[in-house]
Chain A
Amino acid sequence: MTQRAKVDVVVVGSGAAGSVYAAVLAEAGKSVLVLEKGADRKLSDLYSSQIWARRLKSAAPHVVEEGKDSIWYNFNAGHGYGGAAMHHYGVWPRYHPEDMLEQTRYGKGLDWPFDYEQLRPWYDQVQEDVGMSGDADKEIWRPPGAPYPLPPLPVFEHGRILARGFAALDLRTSPVPMAILSREYKGRPACIYDSWCDAGCPTGALANPLVEYLPRAVQAGAVMQPHSYVTRVLTDRAGKQATGVEYYDNDGVRHEQAADAVVVAAFTVENCRILLNSATGVHSDGLGNSSGTLGHYLMSHPAVSVFGLFKEETHCYYGVTGGQLFSQDGFEKDKSKDIFGSRQWEIGLGTKPNDLLGVAMSRADLFGNDLHEFVRHGVRHFGAMVGVCECLPHAANRIELADGKDRFGMPLARVNFNLDDYARNLWQQTADLGVQIFQAAGATEAWHSPPGGQHIMGGTIMGADRTASVTNEYAQLHDVPNVIIGGPSVFPTSSSVNSTFTAHAVALRSARHIAEHWGGLVG
């Protein structure tokens, strides 16, 4: 075992939230060490290939999944510098005000400890930092906020064809709010629309952590350390303060890293796993778990992919992975007594022949020469969009420690996740509507996927009531305030919007607060 020189802040994880904390705290003059369990990664490592893109996904430690529904952990999680944000699509809508006051307004779900107006300036700041493209006026559902710094991305044939279906059903579309550059910005080039976003964007046009916040962190003196697998947050004898973290290197050597503050930003499942594994005599049920809610209120968006074939060529391999058009018509939550939750559409997804979201997988039933025939036709005439649905937070949906252990002796995570009837009905309604939209657009065939899980949220939820939540409004553990949690695990509700923009905004808000109140935090 080795003990390293103490730092002001150790950040666990280098993804969307961890990179923001690292940048802000390093720029505030703090000594920052970022521990990443995966490999060092540079933009030049991001090869254009759906096959090579799988290096960006996390496969180990294994997550034991129980319950009726999957959170699609391997699909959603990341591995290496940049974490899951390295393979995200850059679709960055904002949470709506009602998403954050769900219990007050609808008597369902939970309330956030702050409202949209308190988060709004941080959304504005992040979009300015990374360079977002969009059209705030045409995005009619968008909550108040500063205009996008860049004009929207262009719409190609794929988007134009699917827009016909929305128009025919009196549904509105807009440009997608994208963390992808439509023009050169801060020395980064504009997108060239070759649709390799989920393989990691090596040009820097898509705002992954390697292009904005991690470089800023390093510029300000933060140190990045790969292959450092954090297993526990360490606390003092009284359990009042975190003193650092325990981690293992690739050779299995145990280390202790002392720090005045610990940011746990290892994505939703790992955040909970690390805190649960940090139990002590004082914190016998896990660190930060005096409320009994650590690991609970797990959420994932039930999503449906809608596919179709068209007579004309769609050029589905162009554009960007996350879509060419966007719609939040149908975002209202109280749809009927049996259906509750918001919904959004990402329209005209860039699609390649292979991989999970590829042309071949859209008809997973086909094989042999039928599959050849389908793929050869499909790559030219294929259309795809995704409907993303909300899932309410339920305490029974949870992350726990499993009996099995990883190679360092740390218990694996076990996930128990079941969608409620509101979400199942919403998903089915969305799937049916999606097929109608494709038919209205002129598809010769239209069909939809089975349910999929997009984004993983909850488990360390924020709340004003310390008896019913894990962290306060600045994502500090109620029980041990010098432990700060980063990422969508702190979200009390899921909305139906992609989580990465909000993860950035929440992290920026909290990081600035931590920097400005440092004395109170470590005193």
Chain B
Amino acid sequence: MPLTRRNFVKQSGLALSVTVAGKTLCLTPRQAYAQGVAFTNLSQVEVDTLEAICERLLPGAREEGVAQFVDKQLALDPNDSLLFLKCFNVEPPYLAFYRSALAEIVRLSEATYSRAVADLDEASATRLIESLRDGTTEDWNGPPPPLVYHALRNDAVDVVYGTMEGFADLGIPFLAHIEPPAVT
């Protein structure tokens, strides 16, 4: 089946059911981002932080709707969740993990660089991410920093490369047995 825009929305595996102006729509996270669909679980500060850090982890993640994807998944029963975090033995609810991790990233950025993550220059953002990855953050009171790094990094990888569009962008065949369902 040719990869058309309509098919992609159905097949991406990440389609979101959202209500816009009273209508229920089936959108990819990227489309939800472009249309500015409201968040239901994450606060605006959390969204801004998640998008900023994921964009540094893998450029393009913001536009692919990483925050939209995470926000929708946080509403689900953990056994139904599609989040990478599920691969690790993290105690649900996953919203608690994200809330704590993002709050600590906000605090770390302010304490170390006196500015929000979204406003960090590249060198500062790189040092902040390296401190998460290497577990060298100081006065950290959230989930283990390397786990936060892996979770957010792989959320970014999922939305950028884990979809049919991502495979197409990489130039490799997706080879789907079954199309992911349209969400109504």
Contact = CB atoms under 8 A, between A and B. Distances in A.
A55 interface: yes
A1 interface: no
A238 interface: no
A39 B77 CA distance: 12
B58 A79 contact: no
A367 B13 contact: no
Given A364-B150, A367-B57, A375 B176 contact: no
Contact of B177 (A46, A51, A360, A380): A46
A139 interface: no
Interface in B135-182: 150, 153-154, 157-158, 161-163, 166-167, 170-181
Contacts of A39: 79
Interface stretch (B30-38, B43-51, B86-94, B100-108): B86-94
Interface stretch (A24-32, A68-76, A277-285): A68-76
Contact of B87 (A60, A356, A368): A356
B92 A60 contact: yes
Contacts of B79: 38-39, 55, 58-60, 79
A364 B135 CA distance: 14
B154 A49 contact: no
Nearest to A250: B77
A335 interface: no
Given A54-B83, A79-B79, A47 B179 contact: yes
Contact of A48 (B14, B83, B161, B174): B174
A438 interface: no
B129 interface: yes
Contacts of B91: 62
A365 interface: yes
A375 B86 CA distance: 22
Interface stretch (A98-106, A195-203, A466-474): A195-203
B15 to A, nearest CB: 11
Contact residue range for chain B?
Answer: 35 or more
A380 B78 CA distance: 34
A368 B170 contact: no
Contacts of A79: 79
Q: Tell me the dominant secondary structure on chain B's binding face.
A: loop
Q: Tell me the dominant secondary structure on chain A's binding face.
A: loop
A353 interface: yes
A3 interface: no
A157 interface: no
Interface in B54-95: 56-60, 77-84, 86-89, 91-92
B80 A367 contact: no
A371 interface: yes
A194 interface: yes
A376 B58 CA distance: 12
B161 A55 contact: no
A116 B177 CA distance: 38
A63 B89 CA distance: 7
Contact of A49 (B86, B162, B170): B162
Nearest to A369: B59
Contacts of A375: 157, 161, 170
B146 to A, nearest CB: 9
B19 interface: no
Contacts of B154: 354-355, 360-361
Interface of B: 13-14, 56-60, 77-84, 86-89, 91-92, 126, 129, 133, 150, 153-154, 157-158, 161-163, 166-167, 170-181
29 contacts: A46-B178, A47-B181, A48-B175, A48-B180, A49-B176, A50-B158, A54-B82, A55-B79, A59-B86, A192-B177, A195-B175, A202-B177, A202-B178, A203-B177, A353-B166, A353-B167, A354-B157, A355-B158, A356-B84, A360-B157, A364-B150, A367-B57, A367-B129, A368-B56, A369-B59, A372-B58, A372-B59, A376-B170, A380-B171
